[in-house]
């Protein structure tokens, strides 16, 4: 039976300025070297903060390129800037076409589709949602075609921001609006996804590990490989730890394993910033 092994890493936030995050990435790299999945997906925030530190993406790419397996990348808000939300104030670094272009130049396409083990895999740029940028309209057109071509195969979706907290109808609180795919683009996306056999939505961004099922779709929030955010800065929703997620896909079935690479350390963001 064909099997496809995928390892999801997220929120690596790499920069030459924070060695502890690079050390955690090296522990993850060693684990990937030992386990040799078919593919590594980084679901965004590859860089510490590309808008303010233009060297970070190149450094992040260098470290990923040294991995012994192929990688696919998706942008996070610290790679291309953040998307506007209805209830929250405008982000300090809004996503721009320029930011998206810079990401593509460094990491390749910011959205992708491929098939393996009887599944259709789709990666989306969640940061262009709700922006009104040409990239958003282009991505929705592209997604319509990608979903049509799934042709009854089960679909696994990867993106940086989770779709929602618990269900598509969650009321969007102003304080957490930036945590999820923003309304009203989320509604459009969910409606499009309702037309296919969606089984998995894999995201990052929150720096907390979470795994739940909503309407037969499994939602997996990958933790950061690099750091956790202390409770006084961020409420506890899932598990605050660093780590990664392993998937095994077979026709019509998949398994999820929540993993910490040996030697990974739960770096606390506040302590990291205090030391720098
Ligand atoms: Fe992040
Ligand atoms: Fe993020």
**DSSP one-letter string for 146-207:** HHHTTTT--EEEE-SS-S-SSSTT----GGGGGGSPPTTHHHHHHHHHTTS-EEEEEE-SSS
Residues above pLDDT 90, as percent of the chain: 90
Report how far ligand 2's centroid is from the alpha carbon of 8 (Å). Answer: 15
Whole-model pTM: value is 0.97
Residue 171, pLDDT > 80, answer no
Report how far ligand 2's centroid is from the alpha carbon of 118 (Å). Answer: 30
Report how far ligand 2's centroid is from the alpha carbon of 27 (Å). Answer: 21
Sign of CA dihedral 228, 232, 235, 236: positive
CB 19 within 8 A of CB 13: no
Residue 5, pLDDT > 80, answer yes
- Tens-place pLDDT, residues 227-239: 999 999 999 999 9
Identify the DSSP state of 94. B
Residue that has been written with the tokens 């060693």 in this structure: 30
pLDDT in the model for residue 177? 83
Name all domains of the chain by residue range, CATH numbers in brackets: 4-275 (3.60.21.10)
- Tens-place pLDDT, residues 126-167: 999 999 999 999 999 999 999 999 999 999 999 999 999 998
Report how far ligand 1's centroid is from the alpha carbon of 148 (Å). Answer: 31
């Amino acid at each position: 039976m064909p099997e496809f092994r995928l390892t999801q890493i997220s929120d690596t936030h790499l920069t030459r300025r924070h060695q502890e995050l690079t050390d955690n990435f090296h522990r993850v790299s060693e684990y990937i070297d030992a386990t040799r999945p078919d593919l590594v997906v980084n679901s965004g925030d590859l860089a510490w903060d590309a808008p303010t530190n233009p060297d970070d993406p190149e450094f992040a790419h260098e470290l990923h390129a040294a991995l012994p397996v192929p990688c696919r990348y998706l942008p996070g808000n610290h790679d291309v800037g953040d998307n506007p939300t209805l209830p929250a104030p405008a982000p300090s670094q809004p996503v721009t076409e320029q930011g998206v272009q810079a990401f593509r130049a460094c990491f390749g396409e910011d959205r992708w589709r491929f098939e393996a083990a009887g599944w259709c895999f789709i990666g989306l740029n969640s940061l262009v949602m709700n922006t009104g940028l040409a990239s958003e309209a282009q991505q929705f057109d592209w997604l319509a075609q990608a979903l049509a071509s799934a042709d009854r195969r089960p679909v696994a979706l990867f993106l940086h921001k989770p779709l929602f907290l618990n269900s598509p109808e969650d009321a969007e609180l102003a304080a957490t609006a930036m945590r999820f795919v923003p309304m009203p683009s989320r509604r459009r996306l969910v409606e499009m996804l309702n037309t296919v056999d969606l089984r998995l939505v894999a995201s990052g961004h929150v720096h907390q590990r979470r795994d739940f099922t909503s309407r037969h779709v499994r939602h997996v929030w990958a933790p950061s490989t690099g750091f956790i955010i202390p409770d006084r800065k961020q409420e506890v929703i899932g598990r605050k730890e660093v780590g990664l997620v392993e998937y095994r896909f077979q026709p019509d079935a998949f398994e999820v394993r929540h993993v910490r690479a040996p030697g990974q350390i739960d770096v606390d963001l506040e302590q990291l910033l205090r030391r720098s």
